[in-house]
Amino acid sequence: MMLEDLKPYEKRFILEYAELVERMTKLEWTIASIESGTCDFETNSDLQDLYEQLFAMRKYRHVLMKRACTEELTSYVREYCNEW
């Protein structure tokens, strides 16, 4: 399976999904490092706000997962985003 075989909107979908997963991973790492006291940068963000952001991102990922099933893109998501 190649991304080149997809329609433009399908490519955008896969790339959007991959970016979301990457950003969620980074946010999860940030939250964990703040909680453990090992964060290597200063932030003025409240930890609760970061958790709310992560919750919203997870909800959005769920919607994208449902769309991937509807659009029959799950195999691409699995291959390019290491999901499912």
pLDDT tens-digit map of 33-75: 999 999 999 889 999 999 999 999 999 999 999 999 998 888 8
- Does 19 fall in a domain? yes
- Does 41 fall in a domain? no
* Tally of structural domains, the chain: 1
Whole-angstrom distance, CA of residue 27 vs CA of residue 51: 9
- Does 1 fall in a domain? no
- Does 16 fall in a domain? yes
Find the domain containing 68 and state its range: 7-36+47-81
pTM of the model: 0.85
- Does 2 fall in a domain? no
- Does 73 fall in a domain? yes
Secondary structure of the chain: what % helix, strand, coil (to 5)? 75, 0, 25
